[in-house]
Structure 1
Amino acid sequence: MKGTNIIIILLSILSIAGIILFFTQRSKVSEAHSQLANKVAQYELLEQEANHLRSTNGSLLGSMADLSVVSKTGAESIKQSLESLGDQYSFIQDLTKKVQAKDSLNLSLVMNLKRSLGNIADEDVKVEVRGGKVHISIADRLLFASGSARLNDESQNVLNKIALVLNDHSELDVMVEGHTDNIPIEGNCVKDNWDLSVRRATTVVRTLQDDYFLSPQRLIAAGRAEYAPIADNSTDAGRKTNRRTEIVITPQLDQFFNLLESPALAN
């Protein structure tokens, strides 16, 4: 009887142990399934990321190929632009040097003319630079009698001194402008102030050519009448100032336009 009880107890223990082992193994299997499911999910996620990276990489490769073409075209365009800028910079430098040279020449002309005209009163002859040109303004009384286009004896002294300087600069053009006040001219020799101003300019130009040997190709005669005053014509002093002859020294026009011509136009 006692032996039977021991056997029953042993069987009970084995049964309990089996049950415990069963549940333990079942828990491990469940955990393994869970881990496997997690691994599968991770794999799928990694696969998706890999597909995305492959797609992105393909797009980048395509973009790089396009960029290579664009870069070559862009590089060539930039090169051409830099070359053009270099040409323009050289042109600007050259133009600046020529403008500086012209300014230096104008300053030299002014100094030489003032030195040559030193014994003539400043109020009768004024030498200055205006608009990039040298202007010699000669009072009416030094060259002409009132209302006349014939040079007086004193004019030779003035024109001789000016011609000495002009002959040293044969590359420059010389324009002679006649100016009057606004009082209408009266007389049989001239029709009006236009006529008087042009005749006076022509007389001076002819004298510079015939007596002082300036090339006629350099000379220009112009009449401005009363329409370019430098003083108030409503006063006697103003009208006296406006009655003048101006000799304008300027670069030859073809050289002047060549000076301003850009490299693109020059080619």
Structure 2
Amino acid sequence: MKQLFLGLAVLLLASTITSCVVLSPKKYKALLARQDSLNLGLSESKLSGENLDATIRKLRKDTANLHSALAELQSNYAEVDGNYNKLRSNSSTQISKLAGDLKAREQRLKEVEEILRKRDQATNKLKETLQNALFGFTKSGLSVDVKNGKVYVSLMDKLLFPSGSIVIDEKGKQALSQLAIVLKEQPEINIAVEGHTDTQKIINLGQIKDNWDLSVLRSTSVVRFLTDVEKIESVRMTATGKGEFQPLADNTNADSRSKNRRIEIVLSPKLDELYDLINK
């Protein structure tokens, strides 16, 4: 553009010079004014061109920056989108896994509840059977109860042993024989025999030193009778002595002390199925 202005000025000047050899002062001044105007236009044109070039360079730089920013944003978007898809995929997998675990636990809980229901049903049936079998001994201090899913056959010491003795008397043997009939028909039942005493101190009983000895020896006497005489499998039997430390009454009078001197035969259903299920 600036070259065009320059060419026009030269052409105009040459035309003026060739067409008018002699110029009047007025025309000469007009020509000079015209020349000044063209020079000013040329200067402005140069300045405008420079400004235009600067603007173009700035626009190109801004465009490059925008392309760079756009590329960075696209990269960030791709990363975020990938993370989102990965998270959604993982979440779906975890949700599916948790749902599967929950379903398995619910199934296991139902199985445990069914096993416990069967246990309680069997326990109550066993209690009823024992009460019927041992009914004739209830007035002699025998009772049958259910606690914590187990059947407790409690026999006061006067039903089994003479005072201060560890030898089972005939009436006690009759009661244990009736009990053994039921236990032989229940091979899935574990049998624990517990000896209990009152707080009275042992005096002059020879080998029996204290209530610990008395409670243990009485429980082992019962176990030996059930295994040696009644032929109940020894593997089902456990003998323990509790001494005076699990009383039923407060030991303040003869009647309460009599309640504490007892043999408890604890019958527990085998729960191998339940243990296996819990430990899966």
In structure 2, relative to structure 1, the CA distance for the partners of 1:123 and 1:142 (3 Å cut) is closer
- Please point out which of 104, 117, 142 is paired with 1:87: 104
Residue number in structure 2 paired with 1:96: 113
Give me the whole-angstrom Cα distance separating, in 2, the residues matched to 1:251 and 1:230: 24
Please say if 1:145 is aligned against 2:159: no
> What is the aligned partner in structure 2 of residue 214 from structure 1?
232
* Percent identity between the two aligned chains: 31
* Distance in 1, Cα, partners of 2:264 & 2:102: 42
In the alignment, does 2:279 pair up with 1:237?
no
Alpha-carbon offset, residue 86 of structure 1: 1.4
Q: Per-residue deviation at 1:67?
A: 2.0
Cα distance in 2 for partners of 1:249, 1:211 equals 19
Aligned counterparts, 1:1-267, within 5 A: 63-122=80-139, 124-186=141-203, 187-252=205-270, 257-261=275-279, 266=280
Pair 239,179 (structure 1): closer, same or farther in 2 beyond 3 Å: same
Q: 1:96 to 1:209 in 2, by over 3 A?
A: same
Q: Deviation at 1:256?
A: 5.8
Name the residue aligned to 1:14. Answer: none
Q: Helix, strand or coil for the counterpart of 2:239?
A: strand
**Unmatched runs of 5 consecutive residues or more in structure 2:** 1-65
Equivalent-residue separation in structure 1 for 2:154 and 2:169 (angstroms): 17
Cα distance in 1, alignment partners of residues 97 and 207 from structure 2: 66
- Partners of 1:258 and 1:202 lie apart in 2 by 31
Structure 1 position 64, deviation (Å): 4.1
Deviations 1:179-220 (A, max 9, x none): 110001122141111101100100100110111111000000
Q: TM-score, normalised by structure 2?
A: 0.69
1:6 corresponds to = none
Q: Which amino acid aligns with 1:97?
A: E
Q: Distance in 2 between matches of 1:216 and 1:240?
A: 30
Q: Deviations over 1:20-65 (max 9, x none)?
A: xxxxxxxxxxxxxxxxxxxxxxxxxxxxxxx9xx99x967776444
Whole-angstrom distance in 2 between the partners of 1:174 and 1:259: 23
Structure with bigger gyration radius = 2
Q: Distance in 1 between matches of 2:199 and 2:147?
A: 23
Letter in 1 for 2:177: N
Paired residues of 2:112 and 2:274 also in contact (CA < 8 A): no
Cα distance change of structure 1 residues 119 and 129 upon mapping to structure 2, 3 Å threshold:
same
